[in-house]
Chain A
Amino acid sequence: MDQGFFLLFATVSVITALMLVVARNPVHSALALMACFLQISAIFVLLEAPLLAVIQIFVYVGAIMVLFLFVIMMIDMREAVLQRFLPGGNLPALVLLVVLGVEMIVLVFWSDSFSVATPATAGGGDTIRTLGTTLFADYLLPFEAASVILLVALVGAIVLARKEPG
């Protein structure tokens, strides 16, 4: 049951990711990426991380992709739509991609630890409560650093996008 759903979501997410890369119009790319993020959040549910699934939908689909769509609407895209790929010289990049993929897959399937190791006992219980306690007790400093980074990014984005005075 779980495996069937995982295969379904994984297939759809890979297809939408390919559409993201291949689509000529950036709006289509953004919509395909939105669909891909929804599939990935469903996969997070299957991986027993419901909080992460909700955060994924809120932050990625709700905030980041809407930001992308706003910027696409603000910018005049007409001449950028026409050109899809670099006219030539794609070969090194393609070779690099193939090497990267083959290397990662070989490393995954050569190591026995993936198939042998038995999964730990199902967590169950109050996972979200434990997660929150861990986040605010053991990881308080990174949490505060992340909040400062978000504040700096907010101020920086406003300063960058502002028109020059005078």
Chain B
Amino acid sequence: MVPLSWSVLLGVVLFVIGAGGVLLRRNILVVLMSLELLLNSVNINFIAFGRHYDDFRGQIFAIFVIAITAAEVAVALGILVALVRNKHTLKVDDVTIMKG
């Protein structure tokens, strides 16, 4: 039996690492991958709490999170392909058109 706090701690560590990837990396692809890691650490928390309280809603939420993640990745990579075709860059700092 795994204690709940271990799972929560693993979620915290993975979340911080993923947030570090989002904040520190300049490559758009790696930023997107770190975003996946963030969503996965949240999923770990959902499932751990769902098991702890013997409730199915944790797993159901995790299923929805996975579905929305798949949609998000499809759209994000479509935008990325269009961006590279038009601007030939992969750096986050080069994409500041919408800053106003």
Contacts and interface: CB of A to CB of B under 8 A. Distances in A.
A108 B5 contact: yes
15 contacts: A3-B3, A21-B24, A33-B36, A40-B43, A52-B62, A68-B77, A75-B90, A83-B27, A85-B26, A90-B24, A100-B19, A101-B12, A108-B9, A114-B5, A160-B82
Say whether chain B's binding surface is mostly helix, strand, loop, or mixed. helix
A51 B72 contact: no
B81 A161 contact: yes
Contact of B75 (A13, A44, A94, A157): A157
A71 B77 CA distance: 7
B12 A47 contact: no
Report the interface size class on chain B.
35 or more
Interface of B: 1-10, 12-21, 23-27, 29-30, 32-34, 36-37, 40, 43-44, 47-48, 50-54, 56, 59-60, 62-64, 66-75, 77-82, 84-85, 90-91, 93
Contact of A119 (B27, B52, B56): B52
Contact of B81 (A26, A74, A142): A74
A104 B10 contact: no
Contacts of A101: 12-13, 16
B75 A153 contact: yes
A44 B64 contact: no
B40 A60 contact: yes
A64 B71 CA distance: 10
A33 B6 CA distance: 21
Given A47-B2, A47-B48, A160-B82, A21 B34 contact: yes
